[in-house]
Structures are given as C-alpha cells and as structure tokens.
Structure 1
Amino acid sequence: MKYQKRQKAIVLLADGTIFYGKAVANKQGSAFGEVCFNTGMTGYQEIFTDPSYYGQLMVATNAHIGNYGTNKDDMESDSVKIAGLIVKNFSYEYSRDTADKSLEDFLNDNNLLAISDVDTRALVSYIRDHGAMNAVISTEVDNIDGLMAQLNKIPEMDGLELSSKVSTKSPYYFGNENASYRIAALDLGIKKNILRNLAERDAYIKVFPYNATFEDLEGFKPHGYFLSNGPGDPEPLIEAQELAREIIKRDLPLFGICLGHQVIALANGVSTYKMHNGHRGINHPVKNLKTGKGEITSQNHGFAVNRDAAEAHPDFEITHVHLNDNTVAGLALKNKNCFSVQYHPEASPGPHDSSYLFDQFIDNLKN
C-alpha cells in the first residue's frame, strides 16, 4: 500500500509552529509560500489551477481530497498555481466516470509537493486565530533550523506583486470573432471560466498582459473593458491602476472582479488592506444592497477594499457587502459606467446566484 511507503513530512510556520504529516507521493523536498485555507467541499482542481492562488500553500478543510480525480475541463488555467498542498486524507483512488486521471498523477505531472495526514482542523484554527503567514512544507523533517533560515527569506504577501508571474506574455483571443460585442480584458491572473461566461454572452475577448496600456487595449476597438482576478497585493499594480483611471475618465464600460475590483478602488484613491486570513470558500454570504437579495458566492482573496474610505468617497457607492464581516463586496461609480465585485460570479459550485453580473456588464455595453 502506498501509505506504508510514504515519507514523513512537516508544516513549519513562520512563527516556529510545526504540524506533522506524510508526503502524498514520492516527491521529496520543500515548498514555500503563504499558508491559507479554503473551506470548499468540492472544486479542488479549480482551486489548485486558479492563478489567484499563486505562491500560496493551500490547506483543504474538507477531510477527503482526491476522491473524484481530475478532468482537463476543470482547469482554470494551463497548470497548477498553488505552491503546495496540505490535506487530512488524500484519496489515491477516484470514482468519477468523467475523470481522466487520479489527483496523485495530476499533482505529479505538475511537480507539486503535497502532504497529508495533517491535523488540518488544528492548523486551520491556528491560522484563523493568528492570521495567514508564510510557511514551508517539507520532507526534510530533521532540518528545522535550515528550513527556518530559508523561510525567513521568503517575502511577505503584503506589498508583493504577483500578476506578472501568471499573466499572459502576449495578447490572445477567446470566443467567436463574429460575436456582437468585443471586450478587452486585462489579465492579472484571469480564470478560464470568466472568459467562457463572457463568450457565452455573445462577446469576443482579446486578453492583454497585466502591464498593457490603454492604447494597447483601445486598438482592439472594444465595446467594453474588463479587469480580472489575480494574486498578490493590488497596490504595486501601478500600470493597471493607470489603465483603470483612463477608462473611467472616458466613461467607457468597465467591470472588475476580485483583484480588478481592488485596482478600480485604488485608481480612485480608495485604499486596500491585507486581511487577517482572507475569504476563501464557495459558500460566502453576500447582500446586494440595491436589490436587498442575498447571494451565495465563491470567494478567494487576501486583500480587501477599505470600507471607511469607500463610504467617504463622494463618487463611490457600495453595492454589495459580505454578511460575515461587513467588508466591501461590490462597488459602483455613481456617475460612470463602472462597477466591480470582490467575489467570483463565474464560479458556480452549485448556486448561480451571481451570474447576473455578466448580464449587467453586457447590458452596459449595449447602452
């Protein structure tokens, strides 16, 4: 049995706390990054391939991971983006008819270090109380001092620009070129399902690198502009903020999701901040303040827009709030064709409560 051959492994947090486990496969070594957790019961492949998770060690709170294998159609990007994986029970066998390989083979193909048999309830409770922090997972269980020395050199997520690590290097197209609408999308770490949702609404999309200029996007002669999700701190994305300012100044249709939402806020002088441990899961409750309706949403962010600054800004309207902690979940500029949300309307882990946001964007293009 595979579990009899697996090596011992550890999770070493930046404050020196250690959790013990075993390596999932034969891969040895260490993986560094910010440790965070996702509470979703399903969707692990989408999580692992989401560019917004670049540079993070993912703790899965669901006790069983791998039981339905993987499928190429569930990829949110072209490869695994997390830095490493931490689980309680790893399933080597899978039972989904449509799966094309096991999660073990999928992780091996992507050269990802994963460890299991970790007390994830204790680890998540610790992160929840002490906040997200850098960590290392490693099979070098007898080299604590050496691992800690390396860990101390890993930069903090606060202030870290990561979109350049995951953005496309050159523009590309998505959808039907004969569609009714053209959308210029800035790739800060875009998910494939966002592009699918736009294309399904009769849009042809040209996707641009994270540092593209307004002139670059304008050359496509788009009907509207989109700022995508992505990893890292939004503050260092100066070029994206300048792009957003130019689009807004011209009152052109603009929609932002997650990191794009934060960039729009910063472009208008509203600050952002690093959260204690972020929002990552598929059942986060959000209230639409314009309709009064609640939405069950998928979220993945470690930074948020400063609510006090947004409320004090004369041109911003807070359109959505997170019902767990009253953080800003949606913004709109009162006199401009611009709106954004902090969550992921393209992610539909069951409910499709938020898909109307894509319809709203298309309506803005029509008008």
Structure 2
Amino acid sequence: MKAILALEDGRVFHGRAFGQPGTSTGEICFNTSMTGYQEVITDPSYRGQIVTMTYPQIGNYGVNPDDAESASPHVRGFVIGELSPVASNYRSRQTLAEYFTEHGILGIEWVDTRALTKHLRSAGAMRACLTTELSENEAIETAKNSAPMEGADLVQEVTTAEGYSWEQDSRRFTLPNTVTGQEDNWAALPPIKHRIVAYDFGIKYNILRRLRQSGFDVQVVNSRTKAEDVLSLNPDGVFLSNGPGDPAALGYIHEEIKKLIGKKPIFGICLGNQILGHVFGGKTFKLKFGHRGGNQPVKDLRSGKISITSQNHGFSVDPDTFRSDVEVTHINLNDDTVEGIRHKDHPVFSVQYHPEAAPGPNDATYFFDEFAALIDSTK
C-alpha cells in the first residue's frame, strides 16, 4: 500500500505503508540512534510526534516486551528507509509491522530519510501528515491545520492515572561473575537505602529500573499531585521525570515544584530539567530541530569531562533568564545549549539528557549515584 508523508511547508515524500493504514498528524522530527527503535517508539516523550530514524534499516531484530519503555507506543507515525523483511533475534516476539498493526500505528518505508533529515535541519521541525488515504494537496493542508507543539500540554495524556510503587524486576543484564558468586546473567539488586517520590510526566521504565539499581525505593505519582501530598509521604528525595510537549504550558506543575524547593533534595531529567528552569525564574525556547539520538556530546563545566549522551527533546532552557542563585553545570558541545543546572543554595540539580539511556551510551549513569549522595549529605 502506498503512503504519503507531507510537511506543512509543502515538501512531500512517497513510500510504502506498513502497520495500520489511515491518517495521522504530528510534529516530524528525526532520531540519529543506530539501535533502540523499540525504546524510541514506546518513549512517552515522543507523544504527538512523527519520528524519522536516520539509520537506514529498521526492524531487523523485531520487537519484544522487555525492551518497551512504557505500556504502549506513543509515536503518531514512523518514517524509515527500509523495513527489514526478517526479524532475527532470540528475544523477538513479533515483527515491527505486526506490532504497529496491533497498536494502530502507521509507518512508511522507502523514504529518503537522508534528504528528509537534511530538510528538517535546514527548515526546522514542523507539522506533518502521514497518510494512506489523502492526496498530496489534502495531506499538506491537513499538516498545516494540525495542532502545533508550542503550547501543547501532552503530559496529561501520558502521566499515570493512579500512583503506584515500582516493584517490577529491575535487575541488570550482565555477565556471570564468579568472584561475587553470580551464576546467571542477572546482577543482584542492592538493598533499599532511600525512599523517593517520582513525578510521572511521561517516565520511562528504564529510569525506574536505574533508580532501583541505585538503591532507591520509588513511589510514582501523577503529574497533578500537590506538593503537600508529596511531602506527606516524607520521602528522602523527589525525582522529576522526562515527558512530552511544551514545558512553558505546565504552569500548574511549576507551582507545585516551587513548593518543594528547599524541602527535599530534587533530581530532574529532560522535561524535569526544563520544569526546574521555569521554577528558577527562567524561560524555555524551541530548538530548531531538537536533540534526539544517542550521540550527543556534553561537557561538564565543573570537571571538564566530556560525555556522549542519549537525548530526546525539542525545547531548551534559556540561561540568560535564570536567577543568580542558579548555575549552569553542563552544555551541549554541538550548539552550546544548556544541558544541566543546579541550585547554589538548595540540594536541587537536573540534566537535559537521559542518564538511563535506553537506547544509548551509559556515560552518564553516575547521576543516579550522585542523587543518592546528595540525599545522604542532607540527612
């Protein structure tokens, strides 16, 4: 079945559909990761977006339930160069096309993703329409009339309906270790040392796994949870998760997080970093085409250390709008945008990238231990 990808500026790409036929709209963006397409598809931060993978062949290792980052896919469409005709991996349970059909997602292959990515780098991320039903002109008009990302509160679409305690198996896959007596491929979890509350703005499963691997007991709460309800749980710390949409549209969240500053140690990731930026008196702005992929270089301004990081965001905090009691700790070496901040007087810090990766490198996983150390230092 033929499919059309139409951008709001009139650029059109043709290809072959897979998954569920139909029509969908969203902001089109690109991800430069070479692996991890299932994690990308199920990352709640991609809510409202049509994602282009720059790696040429996708689907070659299939789909399995263990690699999902949430209970369901969140992309509104998927654009690739070639869908692998074979899913070859001992963990695979179904093909990518079967998974998309099951969940009602439309994908398109045979697209020149290199040309599309170059266009988005020049023109910027924009609205798009992916369809098997409309003509070129109809698809372009549909893209133009779709909702923009600016001003969109998509957190309310992905946050948990009810709070819960994270109790799923969070053991880390590793090699057997005869020194520690580990006989299988699963490293033992450390004992619980700290109890924290995690705000779910679109939290990824691997963040929860990493927190548990660092000795945290995690109580997850809805994005609309009041500060006083969090404090009534008397946690050792508070975690602010990743999530989709425009951080400037989340004033109701900003107000609650303000009430937690100075009360409990706080660690934020991605959207959590942008929320803290607003809490600290700053503003956010939309990046031209965002940072999405597992190869973003970040410099720690305190140590000079360079890390290769996994990122997924289309907005950034403006350092010129912060109060004087806030320090920029990390910057992106591609465009000098802010990648990390901390409060000079209170135990609060955040990073714009994903230290839990999934997919991506593990250079930045030490932040979970830093959060534990910060809690220890304030007890």
Asked if Structure 1 and Structure 2 have the same fold, meaning a TM-score greater than 0.5 normalized by the shorter chain, the answer is yes
**1:190 is aligned to 2:203:** yes
- Displacement after TM superposition at 1:348 (Å): 5.1
**1:32 is aligned to 2:14:** no
RMSD of the alignment, in Å? 1.4
Q: Which aligned pairs between 1:154-233 and structure 2 lie closer than 5 A?
A: 154-175=146-167, 179-233=192-246
SS in 2 for 1:123: helix
Q: Identify the match of residue 136 of structure 1 among 122, 126, 129.
A: 129
- Displacement after TM superposition at 1:218 (Å): 1.5
Q: Measure the CA separation in 1 of the matches of 2:138 and 2:112.
A: 24
Q: Identify the match of residue 118 of structure 1 among 111, 119, 131.
A: 111
**Partner of residue 278, structure 1:** 290
**Partner of residue 269, structure 1:** 281
The 8 Å contact of residues 298 and 345 in structure 1, kept in 2 or not, is answered as yes
- Displacement after TM superposition at 1:309 (Å): 2.2
Deviations 1:114-133 (A, max 9, x none): 01001111111111100000
**Partner of residue 3, structure 1:** none
The 8 Å contact of residues 79 and 107 in structure 2, kept in 1 or not, is answered as yes
- Displacement after TM superposition at 1:358 (Å): 0.4
- Displacement after TM superposition at 1:97 (Å): 1.5
Q: Measure the CA separation in 2 of the matches of 1:148 and 1:18.
A: 8
For structure 1, the residue ranges without an aligned partner over 5 or more in a row are: 1-6
SS in 2 for 1:292: coil
What is the TM-score with the length of structure 2 in the denominator?
0.91
Q: Identify the match of residue 8 of structure 2 among 6, 9, 14.
A: 14
**Partner of residue 357, structure 2:** 347
Q: State the AA in 2 paired with 1:160.
A: A
Deviations 1:43-73 (A, max 9, x none): 0000000000001000010000000111111
Cα separation, partners in 2 of 1:349 and 1:52, compared to 1, 3 Å:
closer
Q: Measure the CA separation in 2 of the matches of 1:304 and 1:122.
A: 26
Deviations 1:83-113 (A, max 9, x none): 0001110013111112122111111111110
Q: Identify the match of residue 240 of structure 1 among 246, 250, 253.
A: 253
Q: Measure the CA separation in 2 of the matches of 1:243 and 1:343.
A: 23
The 8 Å contact of residues 294 and 361 in structure 2, kept in 1 or not, is answered as no
Q: Measure the CA separation in 2 of the matches of 1:231 and 1:293.
A: 29
The 8 Å contact of residues 92 and 104 in structure 1, kept in 2 or not, is answered as no
Q: Measure the CA separation in 1 of the matches of 2:133 and 2:359.
A: 37
- Displacement after TM superposition at 1:146 (Å): 3.2
Q: State the AA in 1 paired with 2:290.
A: G
Q: State the AA in 2 paired with 1:207.
A: V
SS in 1 for 2:60: coil
User: Number of paired residues?
Assistant: 355
**Partner of residue 178, structure 2:** none
Which is worse superposed, 160-169 or 237-246?
237-246
Q: State the AA in 2 paired with 1:256.
A: G
Q: Measure the CA separation in 1 of the matches of 2:349 and 2:336.
A: 19
Cα separation, partners in 2 of 1:349 and 1:32, compared to 1, 3 Å:
closer
Q: Measure the CA separation in 2 of the matches of 1:173 and 1:59.
A: 34
Q: Which aligned pairs between 1:268-347 and structure 2 lie closer than 5 A?
A: 268-310=280-322, 313-347=323-357
Q: Measure the CA separation in 2 of the matches of 1:55 and 1:215.
A: 31
For structure 2, the residue ranges without an aligned partner over 5 or more in a row are: 169-190
- Displacement after TM superposition at 1:147 (Å): 3.0
The 8 Å contact of residues 316 and 332 in structure 1, kept in 2 or not, is answered as yes
SS in 1 for 2:93: coil
What is the TM-score with the length of structure 1 in the denominator?
0.94
Q: Identity of paired residues, percent?
A: 44
Deviations 1:206-251 (A, max 9, x none): 111111111121222200001100000001111221122111143x
Q: Measure the CA separation in 2 of the matches of 1:305 and 1:114.
A: 32
Q: Measure the CA separation in 2 of the matches of 1:180 and 1:91.
A: 45
SS in 2 for 1:21: strand
Q: Measure the CA separation in 2 of the matches of 1:348 and 1:147.
A: 33
Q: Identify the match of residue 75 of structure 1 among 65, 68, 76.
A: 68
Q: State the AA in 1 paired with 2:249.
A: P
Q: Identify the match of residue 150 of structure 1 among 133, 142, 151.
A: 142
The 8 Å contact of residues 33 and 360 in structure 2, kept in 1 or not, is answered as no
